[in-house]
Amino acid sequence: MSIEQLAQLQALLGAALTAVDPVAFWREQLPEQPLDEDGLRIAALLVAKLRFQRLTNASPLANDWFAADPQGFTEAFRSYHHEVVSSSLDPWREADAFAIWAREHRGTEN
């Protein structure tokens, strides 16, 4: 396997782990390389959980929204997670990205 092939594989894994249905995504994209599907689902849930923590650690907007409306925020986060690529491990950039998304979807910045 070349470096280019490795990079392509990792990009596909990244997309699968943030897809609405990671298993369906993987079966469609790389049927010749089956994975432990329960493990893939659990990993995708943990990815979302870590992103949720990263966001709420850095974003007063997310914290306030969650405190005021936990169910509404959770639904909003689910949409955000699937619509917006998590492009940084940095919590502050996650907070910035969420603020932009929320402004478009909720009509508010703060």
Partner 1 sequence: MGTPTSSPRIGIALQPEVRYLELLQPVFDDADYFEIAPETMWARDKSGEWCSNDFFDVFLEEGRKRRKPFVAHAVYGSIGTVDPGDGERQQAWLHRIAKDHEAFRFEWLTDHLGASVLGEHSLALPIALPMNEAMAGVVRDRLLQWQQLVPDVGFENSAFYFLLGEWRDEPAFFRQILTAPRTHLLLDLHNVHTIASNLGEDAAGYLQRLDLTRVIEIHLSGGVDSPPDWLPNKRSLRLDSHDDDVPEAVWQLFEQVLPRCVNLRGVTLERMEGTVDAADVPTIHRELHRIREAVQRVH
H helices present in 19-59, as ranges: 22-29, 37-58
CA-closest candidate to residue 50, choices 22, 83, 16, 17: 17
Report the residue number, 38 or 109, with the smaller CB distance to partner 1: 38
The token duo for 92 is 């502050």
Distance CA 40, CA 68 (A): 32
Residue 30 binds partner 1, judged by CB under 8 A: no
Return the residues of window 69-98 that contact partner 1 according to CB under 8 A: 85-90, 92
The token duo for 24 is 């369906």
Residue 100 binds partner 1, judged by CB under 8 A: no
Residue 45 binds partner 1, judged by CB under 8 A: yes
User: By rule CB under 8 A, what count of residues binds partner 1?
Assistant: 36
Main-chain phi, psi angles of 18, to 5 degrees: -115, 5
Return the residues of window 52-71 that contact partner 1 according to CB under 8 A: 54
Residues that bind partner 1 (CB under 8 A): 1-3, 6-7, 9-15, 17-18, 33, 35-36, 38-43, 45-47, 50-51, 54, 85-90, 92
